[in-house]
Chains A and B, each alone.
Chain A
Amino acid sequence: MDLFIINFLDGLIYGLLLFMLSSGLTLIFSMMGVLNLAHSAFFMLGAYFAYQISLYLGFWVGLLVAPPIVTVLGALVERYGLRQVHQYGHVPELIFTFGLYFVIEELVQYIWGKNFVEYRAPESLDFVAFTLAGGSIQAYKVFMLLCSVAIFLGLYYVLARTRVGMIIQASLSYPKTVESLGHNVPLVFMGVFGVGTGLAGIAGVIAGPTLQTYPGMAFALGSIVFVCVVVGGLGSLFGAFVASLIIGWMKTFAAAYNVGAAEILIYFGFEYPDNVYYHPWRDLWTLTLPQIGPLLPYLLLVLILIFRPYGLFGRRDA
């Protein structure tokens, strides 16, 4: 049971990290109708900026300064890149962000090299917060958890309870009307894109020390974030939250329990072959849950697209 609780916590931390990434992505999608394929590249930029700043001024300054830099970069990309491409339709926008991903990845390799960089959690959080079932949870992980919860609550508050949020939501559905009421809709778009990439930046700053900072980090998380967004329902913040947690737990529990296909097959009355290594079904008999764990989110994605194409919490017309 203790092991279950500790895995539950690990899955929660990982899921919330995914949420930090997917929240920005889903926000941008709901606003502009475009999947930002470069989203995970901004995540990586956040980590590298924070690393560079932490070398001189420490982790905390990096945490405060790096996300605004990423936000400004994101806003500039929207203003001088996406907005120009927008008039040609969604496909060119998609291709633009796709290209941007590779440009950023190569730039990062050019500036910081191809190796892992030594971006560490601050020493003040480098201790064991508590121990459960012989496994310890680092204080930094608790800090990660609190940060992501704070971001979720903050975002939810801004979008649902403030005037800014009202204007954003309105420009989502009725941009023409909002514009005629005297609001600067392109500015709102730029702001949302900036904040969305900034959220990816924060995720990078916080995740960098635990998931490691290296040029492959964008690639490693890139596709799973899209799964979160699509499963949750494109454009739904709450959906992204739920889907991220589901996927976080899914991956963690799948890795944690060595349930084998053999046990299931035997349960259904099949007989374990004498020499499994020469059996035609060898791959099936020796399959274990951790081996297919990373595939499960994609399986979920396929099932969702078949049975509920608008996602768990997406609106039918979105």
Chain B
Amino acid sequence: MNKRILKVGFAALTAAALTLGITGCAPEKKLTIAFVMGAESDPFFQAMKVGAEAEALAQGVDLIWQGDPSAYDVATQVPIVDNVLAQSPDGLVLIPTDPTGLQASADKATAAGVALALVDTTINDTTNAVITITGDNGDGGAKAADAIANAIGYTDGETYEVVVGLTSATATTNVGRLEGFKARVASDYPGILIKDVAYSASNPQTANSNVNNWLTKYPNLKGIFAIDGTNASGAAAALQAKGLVGKIALVGYDAYPANVELIKSGVFTALIAQDPAAEARLAIQALVAFIKNGTNPSVKDVVIPNVTLDANTSDDDFAKYTYVAIN
């Protein structure tokens, strides 16, 4: 009897050990993270891709990098998100091109059990997102106001005409920066008059045309806030072509290598720089931790501060914040 019990016990233990062993030895399923960005032709997203690929490699996850080649547009982004979700990723990092237009796509992802991270821009209802990450656009706009005021030698009692070049009316980054710019102007520089805004639709030639028209419309123009890299490129070309470098303060956004060089030659008064690679790294880290361990990030709504790059910036900071190209 005792022998029989021992035999049965031994067999049970062996079976249990084998089962545990098989389970323990089974290769862990490799996670897939989909990353749907705004417009691949925008250097901001190229810099973001560098961070995303590096973090995917470090975390040992597969990365699906998708987005429209050139149009930052809700109409083209929605079907791209649908296609990506059809591949059943474990997580989705989304840069929504419109807060309302991408809400349904985000809801569809979370309903399907896909962990969601929102980066750079956001949607109206972020309840189901694991994490939201953005540069501090309001603060960036405020820093741009400071840079323009400093460049034009702002004095209380005087008035100064400035204009703002945007890409679209609904991109939340544009909206945030513009609001931050307006708020700082209202509170600290009431003599700065924001005379006009116009859209470039992500085309630097359109941004160039807008600035050329403003130079005629406002002969006393003192400053231009180019709210993103596309507008910055178009505005810089307009000032160079018209020989107005140094005569009109130009503050741009995004540290494209070519634009950083133009700080040194005086075309840009300052550039407000973000850290898109850091945003991508943080998003993938948060999603992997959530999917693997169910761990929520310690801070759900992360804001990464922007920095002002100007002629006084150190070479180390220029190297740190200049966007890195893919090749």
Bind each other: no
